[in-house]
Amino acid sequence: MSEILQPQSPGIPLPVPTIYSQPYWDGCQVGELRFQRCQDCGAITMDPAPACSACFSENLEWEVSTGLGEVYSWTTVWRPQTPAFTVPYVAVIVTLDEGFWLLANLVNCPVDAVYVGMRVQTTFVELSEEITLPYFEPVD
Amino acid sequence: MAKHPFHDVAIVGIANSEQARVLEGHDSTTITFQAVHRVLADTGLTPQDIDGVAAGPFSGPLTYYMRNGPAWRSHMAPSIPIILDAASAIATGQCHTVLVAHGSAGIYTERASTAPWTRPANEFVVAYGMFTAAEFALIAQRHMHMHGTTHEQLATVAATIRNNGHAHPEAVYHGRGPFTPDDILASRMVSDPFHLLDCAMTSEGACALILTTRERAQDLPNKPVYILGGACDSFGPSYQHPPAWDLAGPSGRNNGYTGRWAAQKSFAMGELGPTDVDVCEFYDPFSFEIIRQFEAYGFCEEGEGGDFIMDGRIGPGGQFPVTTDGGTMSFSHGGAAVQQLQRVIRGVEQLRGTCVTSQVPDAQVAMCSNGGAGALFTDVMLLGTETP
C-alpha cells in the first residue's frame, strides 16, 4: 500500500495577493475556484492579470470554475524545496474543464497513482487566516 | 548583399576563474576580479583598452574599480543576451572593446534548501514547493507522455555530459566518473523523471570574455572567433507561472519549443542550418533539455529527440557532440548566470582549437544556448571561425 499524499502543514511560504489577484484568493476562502473571463472576446485569463491574455482588454469579469479537470503534467518531488515542505509531494498542472491551467499539489491520492489525463477536482485547505490554498484530489 | 550585422565584431578573450562547490575566501566580487585578470592576461589588454563593460548589475562597479570611464555599459542579464548587447554596441560604434564578466560566490549557504536563485517567490507557485527541477520535470513529463521519451534516453544524455566533465581537469566534478546510463538511473530521485544525476549541480565561480572590433582583433594574440548569429526567445518570467509545454499566444508558437524561433533567426543571420554545426554547446540544466533542444532547433523532428541522441551521436566523435566541458552537470554551475556565459566560452575554446579535453577536430561552427522550457526562455548564439 503506497503512501497517501497529504496537504502541506502551516509554516510553508504563503502567497501574497496583489490588487488584481485578491478576488481569486477571496474565492478560495469560500470554496470557489475563480477565474477571469474577457467580456469582449470571451477568452479566459489565468493566472489572474490586469488584462485579457488573448486581446489585452481590461474588461474582465470573475467566474467560478466547476473545479473539475484533468492532469496535464506532473512530477513527484522527493527533495523538498525547503525544509518547510514534507516529501513526497506531487506538483501537477491541471487543465480545468473550462480550459485554463492551474499549478497546485495533488492530495488524497496514493503517491504512485498519478498519470497524465487523471480526472481531478479542487479541494481547499486553510493554511492561515488570510490564505486558503486550492489543491487537487482524484475524482471518485 | 547586406553586410552581416556582426561583420566587424570578434570575440578575442575568454577566461574562467577557478570553479568549486565552495570557493573559500571568495565572494562574488573577488571571484569576478580573478576572471577579469585572467581574461586581460588572455588578450594582453589592460583596463585602459576597455571602453565598454557588460557585467549586468556589476557593470558600474567594474568601471569604477578599473577607472576606465567614461565607458559604455550593459545592464542585461549576464548571459547570451549581454554578449549580443555588447556585440551590437561595438557594431554600432558605441564602443570598441567590451569586457563581459560575471561571478557568483557565497550566495548559496543554506544547503538544506534548494539554491535561492531556483525558487523566486510568486503567489501562484510559492506554496506548492516548486523549484527548477520540478519546473523542468513538468516539461519533461509532458514530452514523455506525448512521445514516449524514456528515462534511459534522459540518462544517456546525463552520462554523456558527465563523462565530458569527468575528463576535464578544470571541472568541479573532474574524475567523478565515468558514468553509464545505469549509474544515472541508480541515483536517487529528485523530481520525477529526474534523478539526482539528471540535474545540474550547484557551485561557485566566475568567467569573462572580451569582444572587440574585427580590425583590432588582428593585432591580438588569439585566433578571433566571430558571431554568426544570435537571438532570444522568452515566454514570460521564470518560475512564476505553470511551465506548460503548450503555453502559447494566438501565434501558436509554444513554450515547449522555446528557442526554435531564436535558432531560426540565428541560422538565417549566418546563412546556416543545423547540419553546418560542428559542436553543440547546449545548456544542460536537466538531461531532458538536450533532447528538447535538438527538436526545437530543427536537428530532428518533433518527438524524435529521444531516439536522436542515442547511438553515440552526441558523444565524443559523434555527429553532434554536446556540452563538451561537462556543462552545469559537471563543469560548474556558479549561480543564476555564470554557467550560461560558460557555454559561449566553451564554444570559443572549441573554435580556437584549444580544448584540453573533448576537442572536436577542425570545429568551424559552434552553437551555444542558454535557458530552457522549464524557465520559459531560450537564447541561442552561433559562433564561427570565419568572418561573417
Dihedrals phi, psi of B102, to nearest 5 degrees: -160, 145
A72 domain residue, yes or no? yes
A57 domain residue, yes or no? yes
Tell me whether residues B191 and A54 touch, CB distance under 8 A.
no
Distance from CA of A140 to the nearest CA of B (A): 23
Q: Which residue of B has its CA nearest to A135?
A: B128
Q: pLDDT digit of tens for each residue in chain B (388 aa)?
A: 678 999 999 999 999 999 999 999 999 999 999 999 999 999 999 999 999 999 999 999 999 999 999 999 999 999 999 999 999 999 999 999 999 999 999 888 777 788 777 776 789 999 999 999 999 999 999 999 999 999 999 999 999 999 999 999 999 999 999 999 999 999 999 999 999 999 999 999 999 999 999 999 999 999 999 999 999 999 999 999 999 999 999 899 999 999 999 999 999 999 999 999 999 999 999 999 999 999 999 999 999 999 999 999 999 999 999 999 999 999 999 988 999 999 999 999 999 999 999 999 999 999 999 999 999 999 999 999 999 9
Task: Give the C-alpha distances (Å, rounded to integers) separating A62 from A19, A23, A46, A68, B119.
Answer: 14, 8, 11, 17, 29
B21 domain residue, yes or no? yes
| Cross-chain CB nearest to A78 (options B114, B130, B189) | B189
Dihedrals phi, psi of B227, to nearest 5 degrees: -95, 110
Q: Report the residue count for chain B.
A: 388
Q: Are residues A88 and A51 in the same domain?
A: no
Task: Give me the pLDDT at residue A126, please.
Answer: 96
Q: Which residue of B has its CA nearest to A102?
A: B242
Q: Are residues A104 and A60 in the same domain?
A: no
Tell me whether residue B176 is exposed, middle or buried, using C-beta atoms within 10 angstroms of its C-beta: 0 to 12, 13 to 18, 19 or more. middle
Tell me whether residues A14 and B127 touch, CB distance under 8 A.
yes
Q: Is B123 on the interface with A (CB under 8 A)?
A: yes
Instruction: Find chain A residues with C-beta within 8 A of B124's C-beta.
Output: 15, 47, 103
- b/e per residue B287-314 (b: at least 16 CB within 10 A): bbbbbbbbbbbbbbeeeebbbbbeeebb
Tell me whether residues A13 and B121 touch, CB distance under 8 A.
yes
Query: Which of the residues A5, A35, A75 would you substitute to probe the B interface, choosing the one with the greatest number of B C-beta atoms within 10 Å?
Result: A75
Task: Give me the pLDDT at residue A38, please.
Answer: 98
Q: Can you read off the three cell numbers belonging to residue B106?
A: 557565497
A83 domain residue, yes or no? yes
Q: Are residues A56 and A104 in the same domain?
A: no
Instruction: Find chain B residues with C-beta within 8 A of A73's C-beta.
Output: 138-139, 141-142, 145, 244-245
Task: Evaluate if pTM is beyond 0.95.
Answer: yes
Q: What is the DSSP secondary structure assignment for residue A103, as one 8-state letter? A: E
Q: Where are the alpha helices (DSSP H) in chain A?
A: 22-29
Distance from CA of B115 to the nearest CA of A (A): 9
Distance from CA of A103 to the nearest CA of B (A): 5
Sheet holding B226-234, edge to edge: B226-234, B377-384, B365-372, B279-281
B31 domain residue, yes or no? yes
Q: How many domains does chain B have?
A: 1
Tell me whether residues A75 and B134 touch, CB distance under 8 A.
yes
| Cross-chain CB nearest to B142 (options A18, A73, A102) | A73
B237 domain residue, yes or no? no
Looking at A10, A45, A64, the residue that finishes a domain is A64
Task: Give me the pLDDT at residue A36, please.
Answer: 98
| Cross-chain CB nearest to A77 (options B113, B191, B244) | B191
B368 domain residue, yes or no? no
Q: Are residues A60 and A76 in the same domain?
A: no
Show the domain range for B99.
9-104
Q: Are residues A85 and A31 in the same domain?
A: no
Q: Are residues A57 and A97 in the same domain?
A: no
Q: Give me the torsion for CA of B317, B319, B325, B326, rounded to 10°.
A: -100
Question: What are the contacts of A30-33 at 24+ separation with CB within 8 A?
Answer: A31/A124, A32/A64, A32/A65, A33/A64, A33/A65, A33/A67, A33/A96, A33/A102, A33/A122, A33/A134
Q: Are residues A139 and A94 in the same domain?
A: yes
Q: Are residues A60 and A124 in the same domain?
A: no
Task: Give me the pLDDT at residue A1, please.
Answer: 54
Q: Are residues A82 and A33 in the same domain?
A: no
Instruction: Find chain A residues with C-beta within 8 A of B249's C-beta.
Output: 53-54
A80 domain residue, yes or no? yes
A4 domain residue, yes or no? no
B226 domain residue, yes or no? no
Q: How many domains does chain A have?
A: 2
Show the domain range for A119.
66-140
Task: Report the 10 Å Cβ neighbour count for A66.
Answer: 11
Tell me whether residues B142 and A72 touch, CB distance under 8 A.
yes
Map chain B to HEC letters: CCCCCCCCEEEEEEEECCCECCCCCCCHHHHHHHHHHHHHHHHCCCHHHCCEEECHHHHHHHHHHHCCCCCEEECCCCCHHHHHHHHHHHHCCCCCEEEEEEEECCCCCCCCCCCHHHCCCCCCCHHHCCCHHHHHHHHHHHHHHHHCCCHHHHHHHHHHHHHHHHHCCCCCCCCCCCCCHHHHHHCCEEECCEEHHHECCCCEEEEEEEEEEHHHHCCCCCCCEEEEEEEEEECCCCCCCCCCCCCECCCCCEHHHCCHHHHHHHHHHHCCCHHHCCEEECCCCEHHHHHHHHHHCCCCCCCCHHHHCCCCCCCCCCCCCECCCCHHHHCCCCCCCHHHHHHHHHHHHHHHCCCCCCCCCCCCEEEEEEEEHHHCEEEEEEEECCCC
Task: Give the C-alpha distances (Å, rounded to integers) separating A96 from A71, A103, A121.
Answer: 9, 11, 9
Q: Can you read off the three cell numbers belonging to residue B278?
A: 560542428
Tell me whether residues B250 and A16 touch, CB distance under 8 A.
no
Q: Are residues A49 and A72 in the same domain?
A: no
A47 domain residue, yes or no? yes
Q: Which residues of chain A have pLDDT under 70?
A: 1
Strand partners, B16: B207
Under 8 Å between Cβ of B161 and B325: no
| Cross-chain CB nearest to B241 (options A18, A47, A74) | A47
Q: What is the CATH number of the domain that holds B22?
A: 3.40.47.10
